[in-house]
Chain A
C-alpha cells in the first residue's frame, strides 16, 4: 500500500520535478555558459531562488489539492494510518523540492568547479538551499494543511515567508537586537552558508530541528481530521 501511495504521489508531482529541473538547471546552464555575471551570483541565485520557489510550488498541491478535489476523504478511508499517508506526501514533496537544487549543484560542479569557485564553495550554498527548502516546505504544509484550496495554501506560504522577512526587518531595525530572528526563521541557514557565519550554525540546526519536528507532529495530527474540506 505504501508503495502504491508513493506511486500516486510520484505521478501527481513528477511534472513539478521536471519543471523545477528545466527552469533552475536551465538558468544555471545559461548563466554559467554566458558568464555575464560571476559564477557565485548564478550559484546563489539558483540556490536561494530554488529553495523559495520549489516549496511554494510543491506545498500548494500537497494537501490542499486533495481537499479541493474532494479526494482527501478517499485517501483517509484507505486502510493505512493517516500519519503514514502524510509521511509519504512529505517524503515525495521533499524529493521534488530538493531534486532541482541538487541537479543545479551537480550541473554547477560539472560546468564551473575550479573556475572561479572551488567545488566546496559551490556545494555549500546549494546545501543551504536544500536545507532552507525543506524547512520552508515543513512550515508551509504545517500552516496550510487545513486550507481548502491551492490558492489559499499558496497565500499561506507567501504569508509565512513575509512574516519571516518582517522578523528580520524588525531585528535589523533594532527592535530585537539579539539577532534571534536568524535562529527562529530559516534565514539563519543562509546566513551560515552564504555569509559563512558558522558561529550560529549549531543553534540554527537545533532550533530548526525542534521547530520542524513540532510542526510535523501538529500537521500529522491535523491531517487525519477532515476539518473544513470546502471553501
Chain B
C-alpha cells in the first residue's frame, strides 16, 4: 500500500466516529423532528432544525474534529513516532487536514442539501443558500484555525478552548465592529448573498446593500439573473486565504516542532476574556445612556393599568390619550380609552381623567396617530379632533366617506363631551380619502382631509371658525430614488405647501409635514427627516419652492451598524430639535437620538429604554427635556452635544 493510501486509511479509521456522531446530530435530529411531526399527523417535515443545527453546532463540530485529528497524533511519543516514519510532514498534514475537512463538510452540508431537495420552497432556498455559500466557509476557516491550534498546543482541552475563543471572534467581532462588517458571516447571510431573481428586481433594497450587489446573466433564461453580494466573494477569499495560511503554518509548526506552552488558567481566562469583550462591545452600542430625570406613574380611577397612546401638548402642559390593552383583551374590545390632562410644573402633575364615551371611541382610535389630536394651552379644557366614518361603496368596492366633522370636546366634566361639531362633508368633493393629519399653528387649525386642506380660526373662546378650504395635495406626496452607474443613491422629495397668509416657507414646510399621513417624518428649519424603505433615517434639505411645491434633495442617510440591523427594529423619527432627531421604536422599543446636524455623518448619540415599556408617544418640553409616554411618563434629559 502506498504511503498516501495508508495515511488516508488510517485517518478514516480514526475519524469515522466523528462522522457517525456528526451524522447522528446533524441529520438525526431533523429526522427525529420530522418523524415526530409525522406521528402527530402533521406530515413528514422538519422546520428550521437543519439550519439551526448547522449555525449553532457547525463551528463547535469543526473545532472538535480539527483538534481531534491533530492532538491524537501529536502528543508525547506518538509525535516522535511520526517523525521517525518515512512520510513527509506536508503529506501527513495535508491528508489529516483534508480528511477532517471532508467529514465536517459532509456532516454540515448533506442535511442542508437534503432539505433543499425536499422542501423546494422559494423563501427557504434563499436562507439555505446563504448558509451553504457563506457559513460553510466560516466553518472551513474555523476548522483551519483549530487545526493550527491543535498543532501548536497539542493538548485537546486547551486547543478546544483556544479555538473556541478564536471562533467567537470570527463569528461575532465583525458584527460588533462596524469597520469589519464586510467580514461578518451573519451580515452577509441576512442580505441574501446569492439568489436568482427577475431582471427587474436585480437592484433593490437599502442603498448600502444595493451598492454591493452584482448580477450575472443566466444564459438560458432571458429574464433571470443571478444576483450576488460582492462581500460574499471577499469573505470567501478571506476565509480561503486564512485557511490556506493556517494549513501552511500547521505544517511548519509540526516540522519545526513549534509549541505553545499554555496552562489551563490562561486558556480559560482567554475564553472568558473574549466573551466579556464581546458582551461589553454589544452593551456599549445598545446600552441606555440617557438619564431619566423623573418617572411619573399614571394613576387612573380604574386599577387596570393604562399606557400612554398619544400626547397632545403645548409647553409643559397637555393631554394624554390613555389606553388599556388588558381590558381590550378581556372584554373583546378593540381598545379602551380615556383622556387625562397634565401640567408638569405642578408637584402633582395629573389633572382629571375623562372617560371617553363609547360613541367617540372609534373616532379616537382613528386619531391615535401623531398630529390628529389638537390641544392648546390657551384653552386647556378643549380638545379638537376629526371624526370620520367610512362605509364600503358597492359600485367600486372602495371605502366611502360618510361622515367627516371637526369635534370640539370639552374636558370640564368627568366625561369627554362633544360641545361643538363642524360638518365638513358638504365641502368634500372626493369622498374616497382619509384624514391625513391635523395640527394647530399660530391660532389656526389645519386639517388635511381627502385631498383638501381646511383652515379654521381659533377664537378667543376656543371656538373654531371655518375660514377656507383648498383643493390641493399637501404634505409629502412624491419621492424619487435613483442610483447612478456607481450605485450611489440620489433621492428627491416633493412636498405640497399650504399657501396660508403670514407663514414663512419654513413654517409652511413644518405645517405640511405635520399634515403628512406618515408618522415617520419630522422637520426643523429647511430640513426634513424621513423614514422609508431604503433607509431608516434620511435627511432631506430644501432646494427650491415653485408653485407652492417644495423640492428637497437627500443630504444624507444614517447607515445602521450591523448590530443595529441585526437587532432589527428601525426607529421612526418623531421630531427634530436643535439638530437632534428624536425617534421611537429603536432597540427595545426605546427612544433613540441621532445627531443630524451634519447629514453626511449622522450619528447615534443617545438611547433610552425602560424594560417592560414600549414607548408610543413623545413630546418636547420647553426646558429642553423630552417627555416619553409608556406605562409611566418619563422625563428624559437629552444628550449633551458640542455646539
Contact = CB atoms under 8 A, between A and B. Distances in A.
Contact of A174 (B40, B160, B588): B40
A35 B609 CA distance: 8
Interface stretch (B172-180, B189-197, B275-283, B434-442): B275-283
Contacts of A150: 157, 264
A35 B157 CA distance: 35
B472 to A, nearest CB: 46
Nearest to A23: B272
A154 to B, nearest CB: 6
Chain B interface size, as a band, is 20 to 34
A36 interface: yes
Interface residues of A, number: 30
A206 interface: no
Interface string B12-42: 0000000000000100010011011001100
B268 A19 contact: yes
Interface string B268-293: 11001001100110110011100000
B622 interface: no
Interface string A164-207: 00000110111100000000000000000000000000000000
B36 A175 contact: yes
Nearest to B265: A15
Choose among A22, A30, A116, A154 the residue with the greatest number of B CB atoms under 10 Å from its CB. A30
A34 interface: yes
Nearest to B39: A174
A57 interface: yes
Nearest to B587: A36
B286 A36 contact: yes
A123 interface: no
B359 interface: no
A138 interface: no
Contact of B272 (A19, A34, A170): A19
Contact of A23 (B155, B275, B286, B288): B275
B33 A173 contact: yes
A39 B611 contact: yes
A36 B282 contact: yes
Interface in B415-460: none
A173 B38 CA distance: 10
Which of A26, A36, A116 has the most chain B CB atoms inside 10 A of its CB? A36
Contacts of B264: 61, 150
Contacts of B587: 36
A219 interface: no
Nearest to A151: B156
B612 interface: yes
Interface string B284-319: 001110000000000000000000000000000000
Nearest to B269: A19
A173 B611 contact: no
Instruction: Select the residue from B35, B286, B288, B611 with max chain A CB neighbours within 10 A.
Output: B611
Contacts of A31: 283
A175 B588 CA distance: 39
B282 A23 contact: no
A23 B276 contact: yes
Nearest to B609: A35
Interface in A11-43: 15-16, 19, 22-23, 26-27, 30-31, 34-39
B283 A34 contact: yes
Interface string A118-158: 00000000000000000000000000000001110010000
A63 interface: no
Contacts of B280: 30
A35 B611 contact: yes
A29 to B, nearest CB: 11
A216 interface: no
Interface string B604-624: 000001111000000000000
B305 to A, nearest CB: 15
Given A19-B269, A22-B272, A30 B283 contact: yes
A60 interface: yes
B268 A116 contact: no
Contacts of A116: 611-612
A26 B39 CA distance: 46
Contacts of B286: 34, 36
B36 A30 contact: no
Contacts of A149: 156-157
A136 to B, nearest CB: 18
A39 to B, nearest CB: 6
Contacts of B160: 151
A227 B229 CA distance: 58
Contacts of B36: 172-175
A170 B282 CA distance: 36
Contacts of A39: 611
A44 B415 CA distance: 45
Contacts of A22: 272
Most buried by A among B264, B286, B609: B264
A154 B164 CA distance: 14
Interface in A41-78: 57, 60-61
B268 A35 contact: no
B29 A169 contact: yes
A110 to B, nearest CB: 18
Contacts of B288: 34-36
13 contacts: A30-B280, A34-B286, A36-B283, A36-B286, A37-B611, A116-B612, A149-B156, A169-B32, A169-B33, A173-B32, A173-B35, A175-B36, A175-B39
A-B CB proximity, top 8 nearest: A173-B36, A151-B156, A34-B287, A34-B283, A38-B611, A151-B157, A23-B272, A36-B286
Given A35-B610, A151-B157, 15 more contacts: A19-B265, A19-B272, A23-B272, A34-B286, A34-B287, A35-B287, A36-B288, A36-B588, A38-B612, A60-B157, A116-B611, A151-B156, A172-B36, A173-B35, A175-B36
